[in-house]
């Protein structure tokens, strides 16, 4: 089986594939100090809980935006699964996708993986909205290439900055408030975060479509995609597993080369 790993700035997702079938996925906090042995111990327990064979893994592919984790993930693959880990980057993906930006080497691995997943499973001529540590909007060209986009602070980052800078404001959960007008501090903050981000993304989608064509399909992914995606106008698809699907497609194409 194939172990697919998506390392984000906040969370890391591990997913087990058998062919095209997603068998199971797990999420943990991204920690560059976690060793290969620690990953293995955690994964071994996760496999056991689901009744899966830890030694069934015979290949690994990783997309990482946190370079300091790569060494330990490489050790995980080599020591416990006896595999050479495939790390996704511009160099080994540029033959699979056109990167139509000023400096292609600056493209984030996660953005390229999402673009490949979107082209395979949803549409070219698209906008991908990814609610992660950063909120990104990526334009996928008619040929399925990565055409650049927008990077904004993520919801959790903005909320953290707000509560740290304003001593009297409490920590809150991100959720849809009862109404737009908050009648207490918590609801007022929830409205600012929830509807503020929904409105920002709606506005950015409108501007991107005006600039690139109103036919662009809008695909939402990321941790808060399900919460916010249903409240944003012009959303066509919510796909929590878009990055994993992109990694699987890259793996399949590279194995055919």
Q: Which residues are catalytic?
A: 110
Q: How far apart are CA 46 and CA 26, in angstroms?
A: 8
Q: Among 113, 121, 55, which Cα is nearest to 82's?
A: 55
Sort strands 86-88 and 59-64 into parallel, antiparallel or unpaired. Answer: parallel
Q: How far apart are CA 226 and CA 243, in angstroms?
A: 15
- Distance in angstroms between the alpha carbons of the first and the last residue of the chain: 19
> Sign of dihedral through CA atoms 57, 58, 59, 64?
positive
With a CB cutoff of 8 Å and minimum separation 6, the contacts of 106 are: none
3-class SS at 160?
helix
Whether 224 and 131 have beta carbons less than 8 Å apart is answered as yes
Any bridge partners for residue 21, and if so which? 18
Q: Kindly give the interhelix angle for 70-80 and 36-49, rounded to the nearest 10 degrees.
A: 60
Strands of 42-145, DSSP E: 59-64, 86-88, 126-131, 134-140
Q: How far apart are CA 25 and CA 11, in angstroms?
A: 13
Q: Measured over all CA atoms, what is the biggest interatomic distance in the chain, rounded to whole angstroms?
A: 60
Q: How far apart are CA 95 and CA 79, in angstroms?
A: 30
């Amino acid at each position: 089986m194939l172990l697919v790993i998506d390392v984000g700035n906040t969370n890391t997702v591990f997913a087990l594939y058998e062919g095209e079938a997603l068998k199971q996925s797990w999420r943990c906090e991204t920690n560059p100090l976690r060793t290969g042995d620690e990953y293995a111990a955690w994964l071994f327990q996760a496999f056991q809980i689901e009744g899966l064979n830890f030694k069934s893994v015979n290949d690994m592919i990783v997309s990482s935006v946190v370079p300091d984790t790569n060494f330990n993930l490489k050790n995980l693959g080599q020591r416990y699964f006896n595999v050479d880990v495939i790390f996704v980057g511009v160099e080994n993906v540029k033959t699979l996708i056109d990167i139509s930006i000023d400096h292609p080497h600056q493209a984030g691995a996660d953005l390229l993986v999402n673009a490949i997943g979107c082209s395979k499973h949803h549409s070219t001529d698209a906008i991908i909205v990814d609610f992660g540590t950063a909120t990104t909007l990526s334009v996928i060209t008619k040929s399925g290439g990565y055409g650049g986009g927008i990077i904004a602070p993520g919801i959790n980052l903005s909320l953290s900055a707000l509560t740290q800078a304003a001593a009297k404001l409490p920590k809150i959960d991100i959720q849809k408030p009862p109404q737009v007008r908050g009648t207490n501090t918590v609801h007022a903050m929830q409205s600012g975060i929830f509807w503020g981000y929904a409105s920002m993304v709606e506005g950015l989608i409108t501007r991107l479509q005006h600039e690139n064509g109103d036919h662009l399909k809008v695909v939402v992914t990321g941790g808060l995609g399900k919460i916010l995606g249903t409240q944003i106008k012009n959303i066509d698809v919510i796909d929590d597993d878009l990055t994993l699907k992109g990694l699987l497609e890259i793996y399949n194409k590279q194995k055919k080369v």
